[in-house]
Amino acid sequence: MSETRSVLVTGGAGYVGSVLVPRLLAAGHKVTVLDLFLYGHDVFDSVRGHPDLIQVVGDIRSPDAIAKAMTGCDSVIHLACISNDPSYELDPDLGRSINYDCFRPMVKAAKKAGVNRFIYASSSSVYGIKEEAEVTEDLSMEPLTDYSKFKALCEEILEEEREPGFTTLTIRPATVCGYGPRQRLDVIVNILTDRA
């Protein structure tokens, strides 16, 4: 049996989080979601009333919201961000404030709160364009846009903040696709599927 964790998922009411949070609950973990819930609270209808789900309405740029959401958590899965180049480019200052400026303060707040595991959802876009047939973690980061540059910089911050008792992990997903309770139709595979 795996260890039960108390997990904060930032941006947990988004596309990925809307699938991840119910799975974490089903695996027996306690889950706190920190999100602005801009698209409503119905994203968690399938787990409404679950005794191990706490929903905190707040902004990751707010130290008070971060501190409240991290109370009692031993793990963080950081998903919250302006999530792709076109969205980022709509308001670069907003994108930077969410995707980069608040990152180190959040990591430091996690350490202060006693979190011992921090997982960061970066992006495969940090690689830029590669000639290699297979892109692996061993290849250099060559981000081409502000979105990917700030993702890469956050990876470096997280590496700098790693220390004994504070385990960090960065994942670099490619474009996610498929159905989620908080459906996104602005990702390329979903756009192609819709148009087919």
Q: Which residues are catalytic?
A: 147
Query: In angstroms, rounded to a whole number, what is the distance separating the alpha carbons of residues 128 and 148?
Result: 8
What residues contact residue 36 under an 8 Å CB cut-off, 6+ apart?
13, 57, 58, 59
Residue identified by tokens 């959802």 is 121
Strand-pairing partners, residue 41, are none
CA distances from 152 to 60, 141, 163, 184 (A): 19, 7, 19, 24
Which pair of tokens denotes residue 144? 């081409």
